[in-house]
Amino acid sequence: MRAVGGLIGLIVAAAIALMVYKYYLSPAQSPGVATPVQTIDATGAQNDLLGIAQAERAYQAEHGKYASMDELTSSGAMEMKKAGRAGYTYEVDASDDSFRATARCGGVQGCQNYAVDQSMMVQPAP
């Protein structure tokens, strides 16, 4: 009888240890929260938007107007090897006195769109 009590005690201790591990020690991922890779990609996209904004400023200083993405790359104001980054694509809406560069997410869950304008502040975009 004593051996059975010891076995039951061992099973209870193991169950408690598993519950402690599951709820307190294992990394939890909440729904809608970005993974570390998504966070890195989002930070890269935001940095790319700042690069586009800096190229827009340089282009505007030289030509007196803001430019489309194609004009920025063809004029040499910006050198971008890819038109996007890990699920993000970039687009620029430009006029003579303003621009808005947007990084659009490819529909990955937890992914956020971002935009920057002549204020040079990257913000979440719809």
- The whole-number pLDDT of residue 31 equals 52
**Using one digit for the tens of pLDDT, what is the confidence trace for 5-17?**
777 888 888 888 8
What radius of gyration do the chain's Cα atoms show?
25
SS3 104: strand
**Using one digit for the tens of pLDDT, what is the confidence trace for 19-69?**
777 766 655 555 555 677 777 888 888 999 999 999 999 999 999 999 998
pTM for the structure as a whole: 0.70
- The whole-number pLDDT of residue 82 equals 67
b/e 93-118 (16+ beta carbons within 10 angstroms → b)? ebeeeebbbbbbbeeeeebeebbbbe
DSSP H/E element including 71: helix 69-75
**Using one digit for the tens of pLDDT, what is the confidence trace for 74-96?**
888 888 766 677 788 899 999 99
Query: Which residues fall within 8 angstroms of residue 123, CB to CB, at 6 or more apart?
Result: 114, 115, 116
